[in-house]
């Protein structure tokens, strides 16, 4: 059994574990339960009625949250020629080709997101075993293999998130920071849920959004009423 500290136990007193909260109440209680002395991230977990073992039920996508994430991503762009300067002008932290492949092979990983032009994927493939397990590999399905470098860099700097359902059928994503306050967090969460609902596979049977919860980085999770939050997302 996991050990829980006194502060966590105290904050958990604000949570009714048998209750399914409406979103506004969950956010209010969650922010009251915050006890860390830093600006905690706000996380959401959605339990979906999919079987990720089947390729046609794998939920994976990306989006820019209405209010961003509160975190500025360090972006590395694999490119050559004029695209290197385009990337840097758009706000990329690093841009280049073989020199960054060599650095990564040497253990350098001082970045959070990667983008690659299609003509660089052969080069990037050399470090696939390093980037892949860390979810840092450029991916055409997520829009990170593209010649439209300036647009994608701009989206990442604006708070674009990537998400992928895990083997248990659960999606985890960051929805912002505690300092955002309930209104901005609400907007981000409803936009995210609406996006996930739109991605429902045709082969998914029965209830799709089966459960949801929100929490701060250090605090307890508050379970949301999935029917209510889906209806709210549809209206937003």
Among candidates 155, 114, 106, which has minimal Cα distance to 134? 114
Q: What is the pLDDT of residues 108-161, one digit of tens each?
A: 999 999 999 999 999 999 999 999 999 899 999 889 999 999 999 999 998 899
pLDDT value of residue 195: 97
Q: CA–CA distance from 101 to each of 98, 124, 125, 169 (Å)?
A: 5, 7, 10, 34
pLDDT value of residue 3: 60
Q: What is the pLDDT of residues 27-77, one digit of tens each?
A: 999 999 888 899 999 999 999 999 999 999 999 999 999 999 998 899 999
pLDDT value of residue 5: 73
**Which of 43-47, 68-72, 174-178, 188-192 shows the lowest per-residue confidence on average (mean pLDDT)?**
68-72
Superfamily of chain region 75-157: Ribosomal protein L1/L10, domain II (3.40.50.790)
Residues in the chain: 236
Statement: residue 226 has pLDDT above 60? yes
β-strands 75-78, 222-224 pairing: unpaired
> What DSSP state is assigned to residue 31?
H
Q: pTM of the entire structure?
A: 0.83
User: pLDDT class for 1, splitting at 50, 70, 90?
Assistant: very low
User: pLDDT class for 194, splitting at 50, 70, 90?
Assistant: very high
- d(C-alpha 190, C-alpha 16), whole Å: 22
pLDDT value of residue 11: 75
Statement: residue 172 has pLDDT above 50? yes
Q: Where in the chain is the domain with CATH 3.40.50.790?
A: 75-157
Mean pLDDT of the chain: 93
Statement: residue 232 has pLDDT above 60? yes
Tokens of 112: 């959070």
Among candidates 91, 187, 172, 85, which has minimal Cα distance to 135? 172
Give the phi and the psi of residue 233 in degrees, each rounded to 5: -65, -35
- Is domain 18-69+160-235 annotated with CATH 3.20.20.70? no
Q: Where in the chain is the domain with CATH 3.30.190.20?
A: 18-69+160-235
């Amino acid at each position: 059994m996991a050990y829980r500290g006194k502060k966590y136990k105290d904050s958990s007193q604000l949570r009714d574990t048998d209750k399914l909260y409406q979103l506004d109440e969950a956010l209010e209680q969650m922010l009251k339960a915050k006890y860390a002395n830093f600006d905690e991230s706000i996380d959401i977990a959605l339990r979906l009625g999919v079987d990720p073992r089947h390729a046609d039920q794998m939920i994976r996508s990306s989006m820019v949250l209405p209010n961003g994430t509160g975190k500025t991503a360090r972006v590395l762009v694999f490119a050559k020629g004029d695209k290197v300067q385009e990337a840097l002008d758009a706000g990329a932290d690093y841009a280049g080709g073989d020199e960054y492949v060599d650095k990564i092979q040497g253990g350098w990983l001082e970045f959070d997101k990667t983008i690659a032009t299609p003509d660089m994927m052969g080069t990037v493939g050399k470090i696939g075993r390093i980037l892949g397990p860390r979810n840092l590999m450029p991916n055409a399905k997520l829009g990170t293999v593209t010649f439209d470098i300036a647009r994608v860099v701009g989206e990442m700097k604006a708070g674009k998130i990537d998400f992928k359902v895990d083997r248990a059928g659960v999606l985890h994503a960051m929805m912002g920071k505690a300092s955002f306050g309930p209104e901005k967090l609400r907007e981000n969460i409803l936009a995210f849920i609406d996006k996930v609902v739109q991605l429902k596979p045709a082969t998914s049977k029965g209830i799709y959004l089966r459960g949801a919860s929100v929490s701060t980085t250090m605090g307890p999770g508050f379970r949301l009423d999935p029917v209510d939050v889906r209806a709210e997302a549809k209206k937003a």
